[in-house]
Amino acid sequence: MATPAIEFRDVSLRYRLLAERGIVTLKEWVIRRLTTGMTYQELSALADVSFAVESGRTLGIIGHNGAGKSTLLRIAGGILAPTAGEAIIRGRIAPIIELGLGFEGELSGRENIFFNGALLGRSRNEMQERFDEIVDFSELGEFIEQPIRTYSTGMVARLAFAIATTVDAHILLLDEVLSVGDEQFRRKSKERIDSFRRAGVTILVVSHDLDAVEKMCDDAMWLEHGVIRRSGLAKEVVKAYRTSMDPGQAEPGVGGTVRLAGP
Amino acid sequence: MSTFELPVLRNAATQTLNPIRDIRDLLQYWNLIANLVQRDLTVRYKRSVFGFLWTMLNPLLLMIILTVVFSSVFRFEGIEHYPTYFLSEYLVFGFFAQTTVQSMTTLAWHGSLMKRVRVPKSIFAVATTLSGLANLCLAYIPLFLIMAFTGSPIGWAVLFLPVAFLIIAAFTLGVSLMLSALAVYFQDVSHMYQVATVGLMYMTPIIYPISIVPYKWLWLIRINPLTHLFKLARDPIYQCSLPGLHVVGASVASAAVALVVGWVVFHRLARGFYLHL
């Protein structure tokens, strides 16, 4: 079997929070250090999570709020570093975690495209080459030269999505962003994600939309309190998750001894 | 899928200190650095017509005030061309102080960004230092004007200035890295440091000649790395000569120490940024 595109090996993200809130100055810190000492509270967002995604597969991550889904995605994108274990990502990543980063209202759509591209680590040449394609997909036309403070919310979202997805990538990280724009644009963006799948791009997607996960993912992983509750084929995992949410069933969260918290 | 080598991101808990990896990472994000610097400069110069003029006017006006004060109120004996003496160091001090202070606000300001996209975190200190450097070069235009006006000689030694700037910038970057990382954890660092810069300015022979310092305090001036670093910029302009080897040696050594210490501290503290920003 080929080396997986995404590999998590016993990844944990735990952190200590000061039990006494509000130590924000160096002075207080020094005084506390010298006198009473500090007590910390251990929190865990992810605990010993291991999995692998083969190249070209799509893995959906489901679970309740605070289960560690976004944390996992951010570790995969290299935004957060784990406190134990390691995540290895082989290939060029296109993170579609937060759209429109660094957008500046006063600057034109054109200028924002280049700055946003730079934030995503792309070169000026690459942005230049893809510029027309981005404008095309975002359906902004003439507006691209206007400052984006004059845009509607939908226009901003379309531009952001177009920049994020107009890229040659091996790995796509998706965080609940398919709900931008109007119905027509949503269909268009779904089509684009599908074309990535057909091209053999590996996709990691976090979503609350169980139908969408069932439809577009090969596999799924159910996270609860930072641990993997179940993983396998998307259909089966989603089914198990649905059953657990049924009021007639056992209360979800049994077995989760780890305290949850999202950063 | 493809046979060529794929970029591999290894996001591990135990990240060893690896300067080569960090530098390669920064180079990969060169386009972002260029964008940040460009943004910085446009905000400063393009938005207001007077923006560019102000960097020119600022030292000019300051110079007039200081010339009046120091040539008629307090007088330092034996300093010819006082404006050149003062400005040749004051400009680099301004670069150092502004860059270090600004690096703290820039890092905090981009905090939300760092939680959402993967960028090398030291990129903000690097960009701030580079745009400070651009401003410094521009500020030398009025200095040369003043020198021409006051009849201060200009020699070939000015060609050493780029080297001097580079060494000073390396030192500044090291201090910026350390301070900006600390300021993420503790809000009062920035306030304390702003007061400290005033102290630093008087601990360095910028407005006064080193000859007026009483013997018992001389050691304090001597151990201050800024004394040597700023002399790198003063000698080529004011003395029309290259700085002595011991000055260059002391400066390069302090720049190297500042860079290494700053980078290590930054590296250590950066892992916890997301909890504080």
Q: What pLDDT score does A27 carry? A: 79
- Check CB contact under 8 Å for A119 and B119: yes
Q: What pLDDT score does B185 carry? A: 87
pLDDT band at residue B272 under the 50/70/90 scheme: confident
**B13 → closest Cβ in A25, A82, A91:** A82
Residue, of A115 and B66, whose pLDDT is higher: A115
- B63 backbone dihedrals φ, ψ, rounded to 5°: -65, -40
The answer to whether residue B233 sits within a structural domain is yes
Q: What is the mean pLDDT of residues B37-55?
A: 73
Q: What pLDDT score does B273 carry? A: 84
The answer to whether residue B2 sits within a structural domain is no
Phi-psi region of A81 (alpha: psi -120 to 50; beta: other; left: phi over 0): beta
Q: In angstroms, rounded to a whole number, what is the distance separating the alpha carbons of residues A224 and A243?
A: 15
**Can you read off the two tokens belonging to residue B175?**
């201090």
Q: Which chain A residue has its CA at the smallest distance from B35's CA?
A: A115
Provide the chain A residues 22-41 that lie in CB contact (below 8 A) with chain B.
24-27, 29
The answer to whether residue B50 scores a pLDDT higher than 70 is no
Q: What is the mean pLDDT of residues B91-110?
A: 93
- Check CB contact under 8 Å for B9 and A121: no
Q: What pLDDT score does A262 carry? A: 39
Q: Which chain A residue has its CA at the smallest distance from B191's CA?
A: A25
Mean model confidence pLDDT for chain B: 88
Interface test with B, best of A80, A93, A111, A198 (most B CBs within 10 A): A80
The answer to whether residue B157 sits within a structural domain is yes
**A26 → closest Cβ in B15, B39, B186:** B186
β A93-96/A171-175 pair status = parallel
Assess A121–B contact: CB distance below 8 Å, yes or no: yes
Q: What is the mean pLDDT of residues A205-229?
A: 91
The answer to whether residue B46 scores a pLDDT higher than 70 is no
State how far Cα B130 lies from the chain centre. Answer: 9
Q: Which residues are CB-neighbours of A23 under 8 A, at least 6 positions away?
A: A29, A32, A38
Helix count and strand count (H, E) for chain A: 8, 9
pLDDT band at residue B130 under the 50/70/90 scheme: very high
- Three-point CA angle A180, A185, A187, nearest 5°: 100
Q: Which domain holds residue B100?
A: 19-276
Q: What pLDDT score does A163 carry? A: 92
Checking ipTM against 0.85, whether it exceeds it is no
Q: In angstroms, rounded to a whole number, what is the distance separating the alpha carbons of residues B54 and A99?
A: 37
pLDDT band at residue B124 under the 50/70/90 scheme: very high
Interface test with A, best of B116, B187, B265, B268 (most A CBs within 10 A): B116
3-state secondary structure B177-201: HHHHHHHHHCCHHHHHHHHHHHHHH
Instruction: Show the domains of chain A with their CATH numbers.
Output: 6-92+169-245 (3.40.50.300)
A173 DSSP β-pair partners = A95, A204
Q: In angstroms, rounded to a whole number, what is the distance separating the alpha carbons of residues B259 and B178?
A: 9
The answer to whether residue B153 sits within a structural domain is yes
Phi-psi region of B154 (alpha: psi -120 to 50; beta: other; left: phi over 0): beta
Residue, of B233 and B51, whose pLDDT is higher: B233
pLDDT band at residue B248 under the 50/70/90 scheme: very high
The answer to whether residue B38 scores a pLDDT higher than 60 is yes
> For residues A202 and A171, is the Cβ–Cβ distance under 8 A?
yes
Q: What is the mean pLDDT of residues B118-127?
A: 93
Asked which of A164-168, B41-45, B180-184 is least confident by mean pLDDT, the reply is B41-45
- Check CB contact under 8 Å for A82 and B274: no
Question: What are A73-98's pLDDT values in tens digits?
Answer: 999 998 888 989 999 999 999 888 87
The answer to whether residue B244 scores a pLDDT higher than 90 is yes
Question: What are A17-45's pLDDT values in tens digits?
Answer: 665 555 667 777 787 777 776 667 778 88
Asked which of A12-16, B49-53, B79-83, B117-121 is least confident by mean pLDDT, the reply is B49-53
The answer to whether residue B11 sits within a structural domain is no
Question: What are A47-67's pLDDT values in tens digits?
Answer: 999 999 999 999 999 999 888
From chain A, pick out residues whose CB is under 8 angstroms from the CB of B9.
78, 87-90, 93
Q: What pLDDT score does B21 carry? A: 87
The answer to whether residue B4 sits within a structural domain is no
Provide the chain A residues 34-93 that lie in CB contact (below 8 A) with chain B.
55-56, 75-93
The answer to whether residue B137 sits within a structural domain is yes
The answer to whether residue A114 scores a pLDDT higher than 80 is yes
Q: In angstroms, rounded to a whole number, what is the distance separating the alpha carbons of residues B160 and B157?
A: 6
β A171-175/A84-90 pair status = unpaired
Count of domains observed in chain B = 1
Q: Which helix (H) or strand (E) holds A219?
A: strand A219-224
The answer to whether residue B43 sits within a structural domain is yes
Q: What pLDDT score does A18 carry? A: 62
Mean model confidence pLDDT for chain A: 85
**Can you read off the two tokens belonging to residue A205?**
């997607």
pLDDT band at residue A7 under the 50/70/90 scheme: very high
Compute the radius of gyration of chain B from its Cα atoms: 21
